[in-house]
């Protein structure tokens, strides 16, 4: 439900990048979205298109890359993609792990011209 807020932040960020590179427009914007961030890709795209319509970023479009939740076991060191119904270590079953991916909302790359 916070897609509009995120879309607004992306627009602000990209607008700044376009200015910094003395460019006039942006093309593809690659955005990484962790599965645990609860952000819905379709509604993020919808919000982004709605707020950029008729602005300098009208030609820009989002390329959304979904990031699976990943963890690193503290007991045996294994890195693994977690199952959403069981986050424990796939190798040794330990519940002592650190999440290393899956919650991010990150602008990875922007095309400018």
Partner 1 sequence: MKKVDLRQKVLSENEKIAIANRERFAEAGTFVLNLVSSPGSGKTRLIEETVKALKDDYRIFVVTGDLMTENDAERIGRHGVEAVQISTGEACHLDARMVDEKLLKRKASAYDLIVIENVGNLVCPASFDLGEDLKVLLVAVGEGDDKPVKYPPMVRASEVLVITKTDLMPYTDSDPDVIEENALRIKPDMTVFKTSSKTGEGLEQWIDWLRSQLTAKKPKPHKP
Nearer to Zn ion by Cβ, of 63 and 88: the residue is 88
Query: How far apart are the C-alpha atoms of 39 and 111, rounded to whole Å?
Result: 23
Size of the site for partner 1 (CB under 8 A): 36
Using alpha carbons, list the distances in angstroms from residue 6 to 17, 32, 56, 64, 104. 17, 12, 18, 13, 12
Q: How many CB atoms lie within 10 A of CB 51?
A: 15
State the binding string over 8-47 for partner 1 (x if CB under 8 A, else -).
xxx--x---x---x-x---xx--x----xxxx--------
Query: How far apart are the C-alpha atoms of 81 and 56, rounded to whole Å?
Result: 39
Task: Choose the contact partner of 111 out of partner 1, Zn ion, none; CB within 5 to 8 A by kind.
Answer: partner 1
Report the candidate in 38, 30, 19, 20 with the shortest Cα–Cα distance to residue 109: 30
Q: Is 91 in the site for partner 1 (CB under 8 A)?
A: no
Q: Is 51 in the site for partner 1 (CB under 8 A)?
A: no
Task: Choose the contact partner of 42 out of Zn ion, partner 1, none; CB within 5 to 8 A by kind.
Answer: none
| Residue whose entry in the numeric block shows the structure tokens 């979205």 | 33
Kindly list the residues in this chain that would bind partner 1 in the complex (CB under 8 A).
1-2, 5-6, 8-10, 13, 17, 21, 23, 27-28, 31, 36-39, 84-88, 95-96, 99, 104-113
């Amino acid at each position: 439900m916070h897609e509009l807020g995120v879309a607004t932040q992306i627009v602000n960020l990209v607008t700044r990048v376009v200015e910094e590179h003395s460019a006039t427009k942006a093309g593809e914007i690659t955005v990484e979205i962790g599965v645990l961030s609860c952000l819905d890709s379709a509604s993020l795209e919808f919000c982004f298109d709605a707020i950029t319509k008729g602005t300098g970023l009208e030609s820009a479009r989002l390329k959304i890359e979904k990031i699976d939740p990943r963890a690193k076991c503290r007991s045996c060191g294994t890195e693994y993609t977690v199952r959403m119904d069981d986050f424990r270590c796939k190798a040794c079953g330990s519940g002592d792990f650190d999440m290393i991916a899956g919650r991010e909302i990150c602008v990875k790359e922007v095309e400018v011209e």
